[in-house]
Protein backbone atom coordinates (compact mmCIF):
# COMPACT_ATOMS: atom_id res chain seq x y z
CA UNK A 1 0.00 0.00 0.00
CA UNK A 2 1.09 3.60 -0.55
CA UNK A 3 2.05 5.61 2.55
CA UNK A 4 -1.23 7.55 2.65
CA UNK A 5 -3.21 4.30 2.78
CA UNK A 6 -1.03 2.95 5.59
CA UNK A 7 -1.63 6.18 7.48
CA UNK A 8 -5.40 5.72 7.18
CA UNK A 9 -5.05 2.10 8.27
CA UNK A 10 -3.00 3.23 11.27
CA UNK A 11 -5.82 5.56 12.33
CA UNK A 12 -8.36 2.74 12.02
CA UNK A 13 -6.22 0.24 13.91
CA UNK A 14 -5.51 2.72 16.70
CA UNK A 15 -9.16 3.44 17.44
CA UNK A 16 -10.04 -0.26 17.16
CA UNK A 17 -7.65 -1.34 19.91
CA UNK A 18 -9.15 -2.10 23.33
CA UNK A 19 -8.96 -1.49 26.22
CA UNK A 20 -7.46 2.02 26.11
CA UNK A 21 -8.49 3.62 29.41
CA UNK A 22 -10.27 6.93 28.82
CA UNK A 23 -10.30 6.82 25.01
CA UNK A 24 -12.78 5.77 22.37
CA UNK A 25 -12.24 2.20 21.16
CA UNK A 26 -14.33 -0.45 19.48
CA UNK A 27 -16.11 -1.21 22.77
CA UNK A 28 -16.44 2.28 24.25
CA UNK A 29 -17.72 5.70 23.22
CA UNK A 30 -17.34 9.07 24.92
CA UNK A 31 -20.38 11.25 25.62
CA UNK A 32 -19.55 13.52 22.67
CA UNK A 33 -17.59 11.19 20.40
CA UNK A 34 -18.41 7.75 19.06
CA UNK A 35 -16.32 4.98 17.54
CA UNK A 36 -18.00 5.66 14.19
CA UNK A 37 -16.85 9.30 14.31
CA UNK A 38 -13.24 8.14 14.36
CA UNK A 39 -13.83 5.77 11.45
CA UNK A 40 -15.37 8.63 9.48
CA UNK A 41 -12.47 10.91 10.44
CA UNK A 42 -9.91 8.41 9.16
CA UNK A 43 -11.75 8.07 5.85
CA UNK A 44 -12.25 11.83 5.52
CA UNK A 45 -8.57 12.55 6.14
CA UNK A 46 -7.59 10.45 3.13
CA UNK A 47 -7.28 13.28 0.61
CA UNK A 48 -4.99 15.24 2.89
CA UNK A 49 -2.85 12.21 3.65
CA UNK A 50 -2.50 11.53 -0.08
CA UNK A 51 -1.51 15.16 -0.56
CA UNK A 52 1.20 14.70 2.09
CA UNK A 53 3.04 12.41 -0.30
CA UNK A 54 3.91 15.35 -2.54
CA UNK A 55 2.27 18.68 -1.57
CA UNK A 56 3.41 21.08 1.14
CA UNK A 57 3.14 19.78 4.69
CA UNK A 58 0.89 22.62 5.84
CA UNK A 59 -1.56 22.36 2.95
CA UNK A 60 -1.74 18.58 3.32
CA UNK A 61 -2.39 18.88 7.04
CA UNK A 62 -5.12 21.47 6.61
CA UNK A 63 -6.79 19.33 3.95
CA UNK A 64 -6.59 16.25 6.19
CA UNK A 65 -8.17 18.09 9.12
CA UNK A 66 -10.87 19.56 6.92
CA UNK A 67 -11.74 16.10 5.64
CA UNK A 68 -11.59 14.59 9.13
CA UNK A 69 -14.14 17.08 10.42
CA UNK A 70 -16.30 17.19 7.30
CA UNK A 71 -18.92 14.60 8.31
CA UNK A 72 -19.32 15.36 12.02
CA UNK A 73 -17.50 18.63 12.71
CA UNK A 74 -15.53 17.17 15.60
CA UNK A 75 -11.86 16.77 16.37
CA UNK A 76 -11.17 13.06 16.32
CA UNK A 77 -7.56 12.80 15.10
CA UNK A 78 -6.09 16.33 14.86
CA UNK A 79 -2.93 15.44 16.81
CA UNK A 80 -2.46 12.12 15.07
CA UNK A 81 -2.68 13.82 11.68
CA UNK A 82 -0.11 16.38 12.77
CA UNK A 83 2.29 13.47 13.34
CA UNK A 84 1.26 11.39 10.35
CA UNK A 85 1.53 14.06 7.66
CA UNK A 86 5.32 14.57 7.97
CA UNK A 87 5.86 10.84 8.45
CA UNK A 88 3.93 10.13 5.24
CA UNK A 89 6.15 12.63 3.43
CA UNK A 90 9.31 11.03 4.85
CA UNK A 91 8.09 7.60 3.74
CA UNK A 92 7.25 8.92 0.27
CA UNK A 93 10.78 10.31 0.00
CA UNK A 94 12.22 6.90 0.90
CA UNK A 95 13.59 7.86 4.32
CA UNK A 96 11.15 6.92 7.06
CA UNK A 97 13.61 7.34 9.91
CA UNK A 98 14.06 9.83 12.74
CA UNK A 99 16.54 11.74 10.58
CA UNK A 100 14.23 11.66 7.58
CA UNK A 101 11.24 12.88 9.58
CA UNK A 102 13.33 15.61 11.19
CA UNK A 103 14.48 16.83 7.79
CA UNK A 104 10.85 17.06 6.63
CA UNK A 105 9.67 19.14 9.58
CA UNK A 106 12.73 21.42 9.61
CA UNK A 107 12.09 22.23 5.95
CA UNK A 108 8.60 23.58 6.62
CA UNK A 109 7.84 27.19 5.73
CA UNK A 110 5.87 30.21 6.87
CA UNK A 111 3.22 29.17 4.35
CA UNK A 112 3.00 25.79 6.07
CA UNK A 113 2.48 27.58 9.37
CA UNK A 114 -0.34 29.66 7.87
CA UNK A 115 -2.09 26.51 6.66
CA UNK A 116 -1.69 24.99 10.13
CA UNK A 117 -3.46 27.98 11.66
CA UNK A 118 -6.26 27.72 9.12
CA UNK A 119 -6.76 24.10 10.17
CA UNK A 120 -8.05 25.38 13.52
CA UNK A 121 -11.01 26.89 11.66
CA UNK A 122 -12.35 23.42 10.88
CA UNK A 123 -12.85 22.01 14.40
CA UNK A 124 -12.38 22.79 18.07
CA UNK A 125 -9.01 21.79 19.54
CA UNK A 126 -8.14 22.00 23.24
CA UNK A 127 -5.04 24.17 23.67
CA UNK A 128 -3.47 25.69 26.77
CA UNK A 129 -2.90 29.43 27.18
CA UNK A 130 0.38 30.51 25.54
CA UNK A 131 2.95 32.74 27.27
CA UNK A 132 1.86 36.38 27.17
CA UNK A 133 4.52 37.32 24.64
CA UNK A 134 3.08 34.80 22.18
CA UNK A 135 -0.56 35.80 22.54
CA UNK A 136 -0.62 37.27 19.02
CA UNK A 137 0.20 33.86 17.55
CA UNK A 138 -2.10 31.82 19.80
CA UNK A 139 -3.32 28.97 17.58
CA UNK A 140 -6.84 29.44 18.95
CA UNK A 141 -6.98 32.65 16.92
CA UNK A 142 -6.95 30.49 13.81
CA UNK A 143 -6.54 32.40 10.56
CA UNK A 144 -6.67 35.72 12.45
CA UNK A 145 -3.17 34.98 13.79
CA UNK A 146 -1.62 34.49 10.36
CA UNK A 147 -0.50 38.14 9.88
CA UNK A 148 1.44 37.94 13.17
CA UNK A 149 2.94 34.60 12.14
CA UNK A 150 4.03 36.06 8.81
CA UNK A 151 5.39 39.22 10.44
CA UNK A 152 7.56 37.13 12.76
CA UNK A 153 8.61 34.79 9.96
CA UNK A 154 7.59 31.66 11.87
CA UNK A 155 7.79 28.36 10.03
CA UNK A 156 5.60 25.45 11.08
CA UNK A 157 8.60 23.92 12.83
CA UNK A 158 9.05 27.19 14.75
CA UNK A 159 5.40 27.10 15.81
CA UNK A 160 5.79 23.52 17.05
CA UNK A 161 8.85 24.56 19.04
CA UNK A 162 6.72 27.17 20.83
CA UNK A 163 4.41 24.38 22.04
CA UNK A 164 6.96 21.85 23.18
CA UNK A 165 5.16 21.28 26.48
CA UNK A 166 2.76 19.24 24.34
CA UNK A 167 3.97 15.78 23.37
CA UNK A 168 2.79 16.01 19.77
CA UNK A 169 4.82 19.20 19.35
CA UNK A 170 7.70 17.56 21.19
CA UNK A 171 7.71 14.73 18.66
CA UNK A 172 8.22 17.33 15.92
CA UNK A 173 11.16 18.89 17.72
CA UNK A 174 12.62 15.63 19.04
CA UNK A 175 12.98 13.42 15.98
CA UNK A 176 9.68 11.56 16.56
CA UNK A 177 11.41 9.53 19.26
CA UNK A 178 8.28 8.06 20.84
CA UNK A 179 6.63 7.30 17.50
CA UNK A 180 9.57 5.15 16.42
CA UNK A 181 9.80 3.54 19.85
CA UNK A 182 6.14 2.55 19.64
CA UNK A 183 6.75 1.12 16.18
CA UNK A 184 9.55 -1.04 17.58
CA UNK A 185 7.29 -2.28 20.35
CA UNK A 186 4.41 -3.10 17.99
CA UNK A 187 6.82 -5.17 15.90
CA UNK A 188 7.96 -7.06 19.02
CA UNK A 189 4.44 -7.93 20.14
CA UNK A 190 2.28 -10.68 18.67
CA UNK A 191 -1.40 -10.98 17.84
CA UNK A 192 -3.80 -8.72 15.94
CA UNK A 193 -2.40 -5.26 15.27
CA UNK A 194 -5.32 -3.53 17.02
CA UNK A 195 -4.54 -5.52 20.18
CA UNK A 196 -0.87 -4.63 19.91
CA UNK A 197 -1.89 -0.99 19.57
CA UNK A 198 -3.88 -1.18 22.80
CA UNK A 199 -0.94 -2.80 24.60
CA UNK A 200 1.44 -0.14 23.28
CA UNK A 201 -1.02 2.57 24.35
CA UNK A 202 -1.16 1.29 27.93
CA UNK A 203 2.60 0.86 28.10
CA UNK A 204 3.23 4.37 26.79
CA UNK A 205 0.66 5.89 29.14
CA UNK A 206 2.22 4.03 32.08
CA UNK A 207 5.65 5.27 31.00
CA UNK A 208 4.77 8.95 30.50
CA UNK A 209 1.83 11.08 31.74
CA UNK A 210 -0.42 12.26 28.93
CA UNK A 211 -0.02 15.95 28.16
CA UNK A 212 -3.68 16.40 27.15
CA UNK A 213 -4.74 15.05 30.54
CA UNK A 214 -2.20 17.32 32.22
CA UNK A 215 -3.52 20.39 30.39
CA UNK A 216 -7.14 19.59 31.22
CA UNK A 217 -6.83 18.22 34.74
CA UNK A 218 -3.37 19.13 36.05
CA UNK A 219 -0.03 17.35 36.17
CA UNK A 220 -0.84 15.59 39.44
CA UNK A 221 -3.86 13.82 37.98
CA UNK A 222 -1.93 13.01 34.81
CA UNK A 223 0.76 11.30 36.89
CA UNK A 224 -1.87 9.43 38.87
CA UNK A 225 -3.51 8.20 35.66
CA UNK A 226 -0.19 6.78 34.50
CA UNK A 227 0.37 5.11 37.87
CA UNK A 228 -3.06 3.49 37.78
CA UNK A 229 -2.55 2.14 34.28
CA UNK A 230 0.89 0.81 35.24
CA UNK A 231 -0.60 -0.94 38.27
CA UNK A 232 -3.07 -2.86 36.06
CA UNK A 233 -0.54 -3.69 33.35
CA UNK A 234 -1.67 -6.70 31.31
CA UNK A 235 -4.97 -7.19 33.16
CA UNK A 236 -7.65 -6.46 30.58
CA UNK A 237 -10.52 -6.80 33.05
CA UNK A 238 -9.07 -4.20 35.43
CA UNK A 239 -8.02 -1.93 32.58
CA UNK A 240 -11.57 -2.14 31.23
CA UNK A 241 -12.95 -1.13 34.63
CA UNK A 242 -10.44 1.73 34.78
CA UNK A 243 -11.58 2.83 31.33
CA UNK A 244 -15.11 3.28 32.64
CA UNK A 245 -13.84 5.34 35.57
CA UNK A 246 -11.77 7.60 33.32
CA UNK A 247 -14.70 8.19 30.96
CA UNK A 248 -16.91 9.13 33.91
CA UNK A 249 -14.26 11.62 35.08
CA UNK A 250 -13.66 13.05 31.61
CA UNK A 251 -10.07 11.83 31.50
CA UNK A 252 -9.05 11.35 27.86
CA UNK A 253 -5.36 10.48 27.19
CA UNK A 254 -5.63 11.56 23.59
CA UNK A 255 -2.00 12.58 23.06
CA UNK A 256 -0.84 9.05 23.84
CA UNK A 257 -3.27 7.74 21.24
CA UNK A 258 -1.82 10.18 18.68
CA UNK A 259 1.67 8.82 19.27
CA UNK A 260 0.44 5.23 18.98
CA UNK A 261 -1.21 6.02 15.63
CA UNK A 262 2.11 7.40 14.40
CA UNK A 263 3.93 4.30 15.67
CA UNK A 264 1.44 2.05 13.90
CA UNK A 265 2.10 3.88 10.65
CA UNK A 266 5.85 3.40 10.96
CA UNK A 267 5.38 -0.31 11.74
CA UNK A 268 3.05 -0.75 8.76
CA UNK A 269 5.51 0.96 6.44
CA UNK A 270 8.19 -1.40 7.70
CA UNK A 271 5.97 -4.32 6.71
CA UNK A 272 4.86 -5.48 10.15
CA UNK A 273 2.87 -8.71 9.98
CA UNK A 274 -0.39 -9.31 11.87
pLDDT digits (tens, 9 = 90+) for 236-254: 899 999 999 999 999 999 9
273: pLDDT strictly greater than 90: no
Q: Provide the β-strand partners of residue 28.
A: 25
Burial class (CB in 10 A: 0-12, 13-18, 19+), 237: exposed
pLDDT digits (tens, 9 = 90+) for 185-201: 999 999 999 999 999 99
Domains and CATH numbers, the chain: 3-269 (1.10.4200.10)
What's the pLDDT score for residue 233? 84
C-alpha closest to that of 88 among 41, 53, 44, 63? 53
**What is the tally of helices (H) and strands (E) in the chain?**
16, 0
274: pLDDT strictly greater than 80: no
Which conformational region is residue 172 in: left (phi greater than 0), alpha (psi within -120 to 50 degrees), or beta? alpha
* Rounded-to-integer distance, Cα 239 and Cα 22, Å: 10
Ramachandran angles phi, psi of 76, nearest 5°:
-105, -40
Amino acid sequence: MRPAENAQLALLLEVSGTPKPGNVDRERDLPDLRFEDFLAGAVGAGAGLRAAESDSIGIAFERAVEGMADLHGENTQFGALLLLVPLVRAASEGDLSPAGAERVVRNTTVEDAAAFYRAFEHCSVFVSDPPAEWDAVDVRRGAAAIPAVEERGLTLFDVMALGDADDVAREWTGGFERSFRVADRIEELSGPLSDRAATAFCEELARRPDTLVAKKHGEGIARRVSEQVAAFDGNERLLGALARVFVERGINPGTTADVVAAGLFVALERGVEA
